[in-house]
Amino acid sequence: MKIKTADFVISNSDVAKCPKERLAEYAFIGRSNVGKSSLINMLTGQNKLAKTSGRPGKTQLINHFKINNNWFLVDLPGYGYAKVSKSVKKTFQSFIKNYFLQREQLICTFVLIDCRHEPQKIDMEFMEFLGENEIPFSIIFTKSDKIKLSELNRNIKNYSKKMTQTLWEEMPKYFITSATSSDGKEELLTYIDEINQQLEISS
Q: Can you give the pLDDT at residue 8?
A: 92
- CA distances to 8, 23, 46, 61, 167 from 14, in Å: 17, 18, 26, 9, 30
Residue ranges per structural domain of the chain: 6-202
Counting as low any pLDDT under 50, the low residues of the chain are 53-58, 81-82
Q: Can you give the pLDDT at residue 56?
A: 43
- What kind of fold does domain 6-202 have according to CATH? Rossmann fold (3.40.50)
Q: Can you give the pLDDT at residue 50?
A: 75
Q: Can you give the pLDDT at residue 61?
A: 85
- The burial class, CB within 10 Å (0-12 / 13-18 / 19+), for 171 is middle
Q: Can you give the pLDDT at residue 46?
A: 86
Q: Can you give the pLDDT at residue 57?
A: 44
